[in-house]
Chain A
Amino acid sequence: DADVTQTPRNRITKTGKRIMLECSQTKGHDRMYWYRQDPGLGLRLIYYSFDVKDINKGEISDGYSVSRQAQAKFSLSLESAIPNQTALYFCATSDRDRDTGELFFGEGSRLTVL
């Protein structure tokens, strides 16, 4: 089983619908992140959380919200999806005690907004 699990893996939805992407991890890491990946662009950070009571906006947080329900769970919501939110979304975790800050990624959630 994957250490960082994302659901759903694929989703097609319509403009205006509310969508939630969920992420759970068994690595015991405090830090969790949501990124989106678009063709020709680097990974862009949406939100991140360093512990259960800590939520921070990334560079492209508009149109998104998150919830850190537990150390192991971090969900991303699109309250009213729009077509330019069509992308591949990755959840990632890191261990604050590791000097390198290496990220461990989930398998990705491909979202299509029609």
Chain B
Amino acid sequence: GQNIDQPTEMTATEGAIVQINCTYQTSGFNGLFWYQQHAGEAPTFLSYNVLDGLEEKGRFSSFLSRSKGYSYLLLKELQMKDSASYLCAGMDSNYQLIWGAGTKLIIKP
């Protein structure tokens, strides 16, 4: 079956770095997405990886290892506004997204 696993909740300190891991099993693979969702709001796109390696975009970076079925989202210089849920989603061979339940990130001063 298809499955996305990510931690339910993480806590980090303002100004620090946090890594949110995601493992995936999909029928075929056409990329790995990360979205950010603030409480009560819509998800917004953060990153897309289809090749192995690290993609950096400002304070956020996303890494993919296709052989390990593994990705992580790295957030640097954490700010209070980064408190949100982070959703990992794998795209299968039919270009359908399989979503994880999300990781709730709590930032403490």
Interface on A for B, CB 8 Å cutoff? 40-45, 58, 90, 100-108
The answer to whether A107 and B41 touch (CB under 8 A), given A42-B87, A102-B48, is yes
The answer to whether A42 and B42 touch (CB under 8 A), given A100-B48, A101-B31, is no
CB distance from A45 to the nearest CB of B (A): 7
CB distance from B90 to the nearest CB of A (A): 10
Beyond A43-B99, A101-B91, A101-B95, 8 extra complex contacts between A and B, CB < 8 Å: A42-B89, A42-B101, A45-B96, A101-B30, A103-B35, A105-B42, A106-B42, A107-B41
Closest to B41 in A: A107
Closest to A40 in B: B101
Q: Are the CB atoms of A90 and B87 closer together than 8 Å?
A: no
A-B pairs with CB below 8 Å: how many? Answer: 48
Q: Which chain A residues border B98 with CB–CB below 8 Å?
A: 42
The answer for the CA separation of A103 and B87 in the assembled complex, in Å, is: 13
Interface on B for A, CB 8 Å cutoff? 4, 8, 30-31, 33, 35, 40-45, 48, 87, 89, 91, 95-102
Q: Are the CB atoms of A90 and B101 closer together than 8 Å?
A: no
The 9 sampled A-B contact pairs (Cβ below 8 Å) are A42-B99, A42-B101, A45-B97, A100-B31, A101-B30, A101-B95, A102-B45, A103-B35, A104-B45
Tell me which of B43, B99, B102 contacts A105 (CB under 8 A).
B43
The answer to whether A44 and B99 touch (CB under 8 A), given A100-B31, A101-B91, is yes
